[in-house]
Structure 1
Amino acid sequence: MKIIHVHHHYWPVVGGIENVVKALAEGMARLGHEVHVVTSTYGAGDRPREEVINGVHIHRVKSIRLGYPDLTYPLEAPRGVLKNADVVHGHSQNSLFTVKMVEEARKVGARTVVHFMAVDAFNDHPSRLIRLLAPRYGRWSVKKAIEISDVRLVKSFRDMEILRNRYGIEAEYVPDGIDEEPLRKPNMAEEFRRKYGVRDPFIVYVGRLHRLKGIDVLIRALAIAAKEEPSLKAVIVGPGDQRPYRELASKLGISDKVLFTGFVDEDTKIGAIDASVALTLPSVSNYVEVFSLAITEAWAREKPVIASAVGEIPYRVKHMVNGLLVQPRNPKALAEAITILIQDRGLGEKLGEAGKSSVVTWSKVVDMLLKIYSKASSPFNG
């Protein structure tokens, strides 16, 4: 089968959707399928426009960007590649690049699949301008993606409900997965503690440093919780600008309680999760939480999760069953949840064990998608 994945970013750009597309593309290529990725030149640096990496054919097309990554517009389309595809799978209808490329694929007769993400999710965005303008774009992009797609997928039951109730269409649920490695590795807590010299109990955040991820809320919550638990620390793992968060920690007098590791390798990330009391995900907007791989990674290591009730999170994290849910943008509520798990490690173990049962690997997700591709239309060839 010839399969094409579409998104405005691909490796070497590292991020949530980018990592998902890479995992799917390489997983399908390993099974012997001819797999292509159509993406923009943004973030590729000096890499060639056309190359093959780990069996995946990458096509980077000239594009322009209107301020935001989602507003990346392709200036060309590899129609020859699209025309001969069995299926073109576009990731995120919020991406203008994805919508336009899938539209081109439809024009040349390819069968199309769109993974809908963060449907109508701009209304709680902290930026007043985005709250005003983005919902109009969001509604247009959803309607356009419905029009040009043969198969509609979601990775969030929130999005499934909105598509059904607001737009009158059904979508199939296909979640994101994780590599099997986090399920097999031995506990790596000691390696992390030794590497970074962290012996006190800590909560861990894993992800990019972005204002919608609520890292400022986490730091404020730490300042509150540390009054009751003076030895408590926070470890923040992931790429991004640390400066505003370091300044906030300094202002609150807790610089010595926050460790920023920056981007780390997989073993170090696993070690940070293993050594932590809990993963904390204090996101502040529906838009950034379509399917949290960090939550899945924590559950794979049998660690509890403390997360804001935004986006898909309350559909996966059930309060006092496999984690703790807190009101977004509420440092006091987050601090109280952190304190509960610091003081009751047995509860944390119970929640982490419960979460592990819902972990899905990439191999299973790839198998789910290949079955969907195959049954969607008889022209597909296995």
Structure 2
Amino acid sequence: MKILQTPVRFPPYIGGVESYTHDMSKELVELGHDVTVLCAKAKEESAYREVIDGVEVERLDDIGKVAQTNIMPQFPISVLQHAREADIIHTHIPTPWTADFSALAAKLTGTPLVVTYHNDIVGNDLLDYVASVYNHTALRFTLATADKILITQPDYLESSDHLHRYAEKVEVNSNGVDVDTFRPIDVVDEDVERLGFSNESPNLFFLSVLDDVHEYKGLDVLLEAMSLLVERDGTTPRLVVGGGGELKPEYESLASELGVSEHVHFTGYIPDDDLVTAYNIADLFVLPSLSSDQEGFGLVVLEALACGTPVVTTEVVGVSDEIESNHLGTLADVGCAESLAESISIELTKKDRRGQNGRDLCEKEYSWESSAKELVRIHSNLISG
């Protein structure tokens, strides 16, 4: 098959949709399919055309962003040209510009359209009004045009405000994790210190882009939980916060206000090689996500589990049921710092096979190979049907 992927951005740009599109596309190529990605030239150093892991990547100039979505004047014409040659178009929500014009191109050319619905589109203040207008207009056109709507967890069909009217064409296609990259490794003291972790106390790890779009990841709640842990008897854990963004100074100020600065290290962007090391150093990975509307899956939780690291998260994360049923960590109450602090304390006292169990779960049920094969079945049925 010739598959056209249209995310708004693609690696080296970081983010959940970016990682999903890269890893899924890479696996589709390994299964023998041709994949082209049409996206924004989001970084100055990025080439306009290149091949990444067998995936043809074409990047377009943008004139700025609206709600973290790059606006590319060339995109409507370019996606229409590519659509005429593609067997299938695969686009993504929440990226309106690329998704809506992909839907229009699919309608004009008769090309089957698949939409992976990662999460709802919401905003703050004025952007919330803009998001509401979009959700009742263009989003409905895109979802109505789609031949198949994919969600990464079954609960999202019920929790989303916008999917119920399209339930007959919604199907689950889980995220995967690269179990060859994210795996248990040996770490040395030099790496522990270099990445800001401690050799003297338990280590917690949190990872996200630190901007207003990703506030739902709950870092403010985690910092408040750290302040509660500092007040308790015993050794206070060290928290390493991975990821950069415009809100990083605000989170650093919050840590200072809460009196936990000496226990928290903001390490900024972490390269892929160091990311695997960080997961392996951590005694516990923490993702206290706040919103089921915005947290489509929580891929970083799978990455941690694949590295053999137990987790503390909340029920809004896509693999929360598996975490609970397989005893891979603890689910804290959403938005509750006291519950989060208690969950962290409990998990840090456990010494068992949680790490190996998490690794086994990722290998058996959440490999990219199994997810990609299921996606190929979905694509093939649309093309032949």
Using the size of structure 2 for normalisation, the TM-score is: 0.85
Aligned pair in 2 of structure 1 residues 197, 358: CA closer, same or farther (>3 Å)? closer
Cα distance between partner residues in 2 of 1:40 and 1:197: 35
8 Å contact kept, 2:143–2:166 = no
Residue identity in the other structure for 2:178? D
Aligned pair in 2 of structure 1 residues 202, 255: CA closer, same or farther (>3 Å)? same
8 Å contact kept, 1:323–1:352 = no
Aligned pair in 2 of structure 1 residues 68, 345: CA closer, same or farther (>3 Å)? same
RMSD over equivalenced CA pairs, Å = 2.8
Aligned pair in 2 of structure 1 residues 30, 107: CA closer, same or farther (>3 Å)? same
Deviations 1:13-40 (A, max 9, x none): 2111111111222332344422211113
More divergent stretch after superposition (169-178 vs 219-228): 169-178
Match of 1:222 in 2: 226
Using the size of structure 1 for normalisation, the TM-score is: 0.86
How many residues align structurally? 371
Cα distance between partner residues in 2 of 1:85 and 1:307: 40
More divergent stretch after superposition (43-52 vs 242-251): 43-52
Aligned pair in 2 of structure 1 residues 192, 46: CA closer, same or farther (>3 Å)? closer
Identity %: 25
Cα distance between partner residues in 2 of 1:315 and 1:139: 32
Q: Pick from 293, 297, 302 the counterpart of residue 291 of structure 1.
A: 297
Deviations 1:300-351 (A, max 9, x none): 1232211133363645543783322222322222111111122x223xx454
Match of 1:10 in 2: 10
Residue identity in the other structure for 1:34? D
Q: Does 2:281 match 1:275?
A: yes
Residue identity in the other structure for 1:108? T
User: Unaligned stretches of 5+ in structure 1?
Assistant: none
8 Å contact kept, 1:234–1:257 = yes
Match of 1:232 in 2: 237
SS of match in other structure, 2:5 = strand
User: 1:85-104 residue pairs with structure 2 within 5 A?
Assistant: 85-92=86-93, 94-104=95-105
Deviations 1:86-105 (A, max 9, x none): 11111225523212123213
Aligned pair in 2 of structure 1 residues 333, 189: CA closer, same or farther (>3 Å)? farther
Q: Does 2:77 match 1:77?
A: yes
User: Unaligned stretches of 5+ in structure 2?
Assistant: none
Alpha-carbon deviation of 1:51?
3.6
Residue identity in the other structure for 2:150? L
Deviations 1:82-134 (A, max 9, x none): 10111111122552321212321331121211111214x64xx6x34444552
Q: Pick from 242, 255, 272 the counterpart of residue 261 of structure 2.
A: 255
Cα distance between partner residues in 2 of 1:166 and 1:318: 31
Cα distance between partner residues in 1 of 2:197 and 2:167: 54
Q: Does 2:324 match 1:327?
A: no
SS of match in other structure, 2:23 = helix
Residue identity in the other structure for 1:224? L
8 Å contact kept, 1:213–1:288 = no
Cα distance between partner residues in 2 of 1:285 and 1:247: 24
More divergent stretch after superposition (242-251 vs 160-169): 160-169
8 Å contact kept, 1:190–1:275 = no
Cα distance between partner residues in 1 of 2:254 and 2:17: 29
